[in-house]
């Protein structure tokens, strides 16, 4: 199978990882999370493209680009996304992943079900291949393994 190409999207405030509420999100920086994903992707046969934004529309734009045959992103096989606070509010992100049709995994560092009630609801989870939450930075690595497994078993 040719190299898979996976887009990893990080939502608002995740640029602050490392210093932001370490009790919930740990001390690993976003740069270190991305680097670990790139290295794991190398071992598993996937190219990783990462993007973080604090703006809902920019995340929508990336999801749309990922579904186009020709875009500046190039071909994308699947998406890993931590929509952060937009998880709980964003019909726009939900509609974007539904319209794009690319398999995606929802990721959270914290176990959102152990936290405030408003974090228990996800606008996206039922459209995802799977959801991983509660393993800190390791959630992303589990998501990458899960998405690659899914893509190899379904042919993408």
Q: Annotated active-site positions, please?
A: 25, 108
Nearest distance from C-beta of residue 156 to ligand DQA, angstroms: 26
CB of 1 to ligand DQA, least distance (A): 30
Q: Does 53 bind ligand DQA (CB under 6 A)?
A: no
Choice between 41 and 90, CB closer to ligand DQA = 90
Taking the complex as a whole, how short is the minimal distance between the CB of residue 150 and ligand DQA, in angstroms? 21
Shortest Å, Cβ 11 to ligand DQA: 7
In whole angstroms, give the CA distance from residue 129 to residue 12: 22
**Nearer to ligand DQA among residue 102 and residue 119 (C-beta):** 119
| Binding characters for ligand DQA, 77-116, by CB under 6 A (x = yes) | -----x-xx-x--------------------xxx-x----
Q: Which is nearer to ligand DQA, 12 or 74 (CB)?
A: 12
Contacts of 81 by beta carbon, 8 Å cutoff, 6+ apart = 8, 9, 10, 11, 59, 63, 93, 97, 104, 105, 106, 107, 124
78-108 CB burial, b ≥16 within 10 A, e <16: bbbbbbbebbbebeebbebbeebebbbbbbb
The closest alpha carbon to 147, from 73, 41, 43, belongs to 41
Q: Using the rule CB under 6 A, is 119 a contact of ligand DQA?
A: yes
- Taking only Cα atoms into account, the Rg of the chain, rounded to an integer number of angstroms, comes to 14
Of 75, 91, 77, 20, residue with least CA distance to 52: 20
Binding site for ligand DQA (CB under 6 A): 13, 82, 84-85, 87, 108-110, 112, 119
């Amino acid at each position: 199978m040719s190299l898979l190409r996976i887009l990893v999207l990080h939502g608002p405030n995740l640029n602050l990882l490392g210093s932001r509420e370490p009790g919930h999100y740990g001390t690993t920086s976003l740069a270190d999370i991305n680097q670990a994903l790139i290295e794991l992707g190398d071992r598993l046969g996937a190219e990783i493209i990462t993007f973080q934004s604090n703006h809902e529309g920019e995340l929508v734009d990336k999801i749309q680009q990922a579904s186009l045959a020709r875009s500046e992103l190039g071909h994308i096989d699947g998406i890993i996304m931590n929509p952060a606070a937009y998880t709980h509010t964003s019909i726009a992100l939900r509609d974007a992943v539904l319209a794009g049709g690319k398999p995606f995994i929802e990721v959270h560092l914290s176990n959102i079900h152990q936290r405030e009630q408003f974090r228990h609801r996800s606008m996206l989870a039922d459209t995802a291949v799977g959801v991983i939450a509660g393993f800190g930075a390791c959630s992303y690595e589990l998501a990458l393994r899960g998405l690659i497994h899914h893509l190899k078993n379904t042919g993408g």
